[in-house]
Structure 1
Amino acid sequence: MLDSFLAAQMLKLLHAPICIYSREGEVLKAYDETEGRKIIQKEDFEGIGEELTAPYIHVDENGISFCLMQTEEKNFIGLGKVRIYSFQDEETRLYPYCEKEEFTAVILILWKLLAGQEMSSRQLWEKNIDIGAMLHEQVTKGIFEIQEEGRYHIPYTRELREYDSIRRGDIDALKRSMDEVYSGESGLLAHDMIRQYKNVAICKISGAARSAIAGGVNYELAFSMSDAFIRNMEENLTDPVKIEQAAREAEYEYAEMVHNLCKKQNNSPLINQVRDYVFCHIHEAIRVKDIAEHIGVTPNYLSEQFSELMGMTLKQYIIEEKIVSSEQLLKYTDYTLQEISSYCAFSSQSRFSVYFQRKNGITPARYRKQYRNQDVKEE
């Protein structure tokens, strides 16, 4: 049986009641206050078998979840109810939020304590989520319709050429690939027209991001860009032509990033680790000793190797990357110069302005004004 100490620790992770229930769903013991809170109800026990050989998880269409585990005394430990996805509306916000991974971890720990059995997260969810024959029926039906109607997908070789162009940073080859004339069409991913175009665009952007990563772009940067491209499309675009163009622009952006990277590319694992660290900590005050400690080398060795391989000092590289980040903030956000200086972790706004002007020849304020004037002219 679960003791009070362990239950108290689990409550901190779960953010929801943990109770002992009878087979009929009566609360026998509560390890936390349940008054006015969403807990497992008697009707939730309907359809549960006499013997549970594994944790039982129920998740509704809104992500509201609970778990039941049977004890040696044939009672049940119940966890929840909780919301395991961050999305919420007027109804779901009434339930405490416990991220799915944490919810899973609590269940697996308790199951180990109760049953002495270890189980992976994959095994747990596979035992609880069964989509039945629906998937196989839909796949069979889809293949039949394509064959019956004589429809064909866009040639796979054409897609390979497109993504290979991005991987190599070859913008001209990417344009040629896009201009190709071919038989076939994009697969039917939704019956709603706008949803269809958006789904196809998501596939293209996701593939382009991974091609860019294969070409040397930092994976965190590539994925973050992919998230932003897709989110912008989902929230702001409803015109199929604009959705298609947005996907193309994303592909061009990735290809150009690889192209620029290739011009100064160094395949040293040490350099790649430095790049990854600087990108992930760009909003922090980055010190050479911190990077060296993260990589597992001495600061002197790191500085010497970086200067030799890259033709600039590591400090210069860090400042340059911070200035590049600030340029994007100046162009695409309304943050003040003080805020941008702070976000990019410069010691002061004046120091930020000195470094910025040294790289661009103009002040940050002038840079923002020039970009926005240019934007107005293009419109």
Structure 2
Amino acid sequence: MKSEYFILEKLYNNCGIPVCVYDGEECLVHFPNKDEEAGLFQYDRMFLHEVCRVADAKQLPTIYVEEMKIFFGTYIDRKGYYHIWGPAALENLNQVQLTGYKHKHHILEKEYGILKSSHEILSNILTIAYFSYKGEAVEETEILLEWKDGEEKYAVGPADIEKLQLEKSEMNRIHNSIEYENKFVGIVESGDVDAMKKLMQVNSSDVEGIGVVAENALKQMEYLCVSSIMLVSRAAIRGGMNPEESHDLSDLYLRKLEKCKTVEELGMVGAKMQLDYTERVRAARERRKGNIYVERCKDYIGVHLRQHFQIQELAEDIGVNRSYLSRVFTEQEGMSIRDYIARERCRHAANMLCYTDYSISIIAEYFCFATQSHFGKQFKKIYGMTPNEYRKKKRYIESYKHIDR
């Protein structure tokens, strides 16, 4: 068996992408682990069969894209066995992403990781392996991508365009006017809360120009809300809101939209989002009336909360003397830069304690605390309780009992 899969082992040694051979019932060989069953497919047999179905449907080797960043290679050899390469990722996954992936596939290996690679590298590997175990030559350009939910599902074809043009000509529907969009975005960007409240009071007849983007009212409202979140989040950043905070907030509102079951609920989330962003921009503008270097310092910290950095690096990045920055920061904020960094990291960590199931050790590492114990001490200093106590007390459980089932 070892000599039979000599080529696979050598290819694995060169590319680092895991590979297994599956006969439809059991895993015959797996690199890097030499056990009969190992890696992802040991824990998630349903996904193994899913990848096999892709190989069954294709005559040539295929790259199967499970998620935007994660992909596999698959083909059937001359014996009818499945050869499956992967997973590999287009970029390095952070600890939170990796933990989520492990949870999704029930992976129990503590040291499990996913190698960074590319579709091109895997295509080259597949051509060599396919020739060795199938006896047929194939060019890299013949190896196509197969998306998990079907590529055609996401593509816009000529028929879609013609249908839209027909609807527009028959119904005289046009997209929302540039004037209204500019007005709406301008209000957010300026942080004008009063103007936003007035705009939110207009009835639907004032915005009839919105085009049809879905075949039912619920989807129509959902798409409009998603577009609105994207526009507003970018406008808020231009208005002075911290980019990290703006992106995080948009993610949270998108998750809120996923939970909505009615047009009314979508409308409520959209309205809350618009006002929330506008108020945050106004607050950011008020803060920026202080020392410009202090505000740049806070922006830098917001972007680098999940990275290790030194205050000297921060000062150099914003172009100011470290001693001067430390002094004016303490005068304006009433705390040192280090204390502010610890507070912000603990504040974001507190959200993860409430809203996720990630372990305290992972959260501590994610926010660059030296140890879990160090995280615990800093957290208790700010919140008056340990992270575990905080999670038990503040645990957030979303309830939608008010929604008609």
What is the TM-score when the length of structure 1 is the normalising length?
0.60
Deviations 1:152-187 (A, max 9, x none): 333221111111111111112223333456352433
Cα gap change, 1:277 to 1:65, in 2 (>3 Å): closer
CA distance in 2, matches of 1:60, 1:324: 34
Provide the secondary structure at the position in 2 that maps to 1:182. helix
Are 1:283 and 1:343, in contact at CA under 8 Å, matched by a contact in 2? no
Q: Does 1:352 align with 2:382?
A: yes
Q: Does 1:265 align with 2:270?
A: no
Q: Does 1:221 align with 2:227?
A: no
Deviations 1:290-321 (A, max 9, x none): 23235546999224036448852684466467
Q: What corresponds to 1:44 in structure 2?
A: 55
Are 1:67 and 1:80, in contact at CA under 8 Å, matched by a contact in 2? yes
Q: How does 1:105-144 map to 2 (within 5 A)?
A: 105=117, 107-111=119-123, 128=145, 131=152, 135-144=157-166
What residue identity is the alignment partner of 1:259? R
Q: What corresponds to 1:169 in structure 2?
A: 191
Q: Structure 1 residue 258: deviation in Å?
A: 1.2
What residue identity is the alignment partner of 2:190? R
Q: What corresponds to 2:256 in structure 1?
A: 232
Cα gap change, 1:347 to 1:61, in 2 (>3 Å): closer
Q: Does 1:159 align with 2:176?
A: no
CA distance in 2, matches of 1:173, 1:198: 24
User: 5+ unaligned residues in a row in structure 1: which ranges?
Assistant: 22-26, 50-54, 71-75, 117-122, 355-364, 370-379
Provide the secondary structure at the position in 2 that maps to 1:275. helix
What residue identity is the alignment partner of 1:17? V
Deviations 1:306-340 (A, max 9, x none): 6448852684466467668878959x9599xxx99
Cα gap change, 1:42 to 1:346, in 2 (>3 Å): closer
Q: What corresponds to 2:236 in structure 1?
A: 212
CA distance in 1, matches of 2:335, 2:7: 54
Q: Structure 1 residue 138: deviation in Å?
A: 0.9
Are 2:21 and 2:30, in contact at CA under 8 Å, matched by a contact in 1? yes
Q: Does 1:255 align with 2:278?
A: yes
RMSD after superposition: 5.7
CA distance in 2, matches of 1:61, 1:114: 20
CA distance in 2, matches of 1:115, 1:125: 10
Provide the secondary structure at the position in 2 that maps to 1:48. coil
What residue identity is the alignment partner of 1:56? T
Are 1:198 and 1:243, in contact at CA under 8 Å, matched by a contact in 2? yes
Deviations 1:357-378 (A, max 9, x none): xxxxxxxx9xx99xxxxxxxxx
Q: How does 1:357-372 map to 2 (within 5 A)?
A: none
Q: What corresponds to 1:56 in structure 2?
A: 62
Q: What corresponds to 2:19 in structure 1?
A: 17
Q: How many residues align?
A: 321
Provide the secondary structure at the position in 2 that maps to 1:67. strand
